Structure 1
């Protein structure tokens, strides 16, 4: 059961990262549960930081 939960949260983080790179707003988070939403927003923030530091154009 832990494996499924971890995979779901990793997927949420990955999708948030992709959304951040594509310039989507954090308001468009598709997750309702706090765990998944937190991971999605964490990925979104990481992508925005990476983009601002010049890793991506």
Structure 2
């Protein structure tokens, strides 16, 4: 059971990262559950930071 929950959180973070890399806004988060949404947003923020670092602020 714990593994299923962890997998779900990891998947949410991965999907948030993918969304951030392609330039989607944080309002595109499809999750309502606070824990899962926090993971998605964490992945999204990491991706946005990576994009800014890689592309020099574009």
Structure 2, gaps ≥5 residues long? none
- Secondary structure at the aligned position of 1:44 is classed as helix
Q: Which residue of 2 aligns with 1:44?
A: 44
Q: Which runs of 5+ in 1 are unaligned?
A: none
* Ranges of 4+ aligned residues in structure 1 off by more than 4 Å: none
RMSD of aligned residue pairs (Cα, Å): 1.4
User: Normalising to structure 1: TM-score of the pair?
Assistant: 0.93
Report matched runs for 1:1-57 at 5 Å.
Answer: 1-54=1-54
With the length of structure 2 as denominator, give the TM-score of the two structures: 0.92
Q: How many residues align?
A: 56
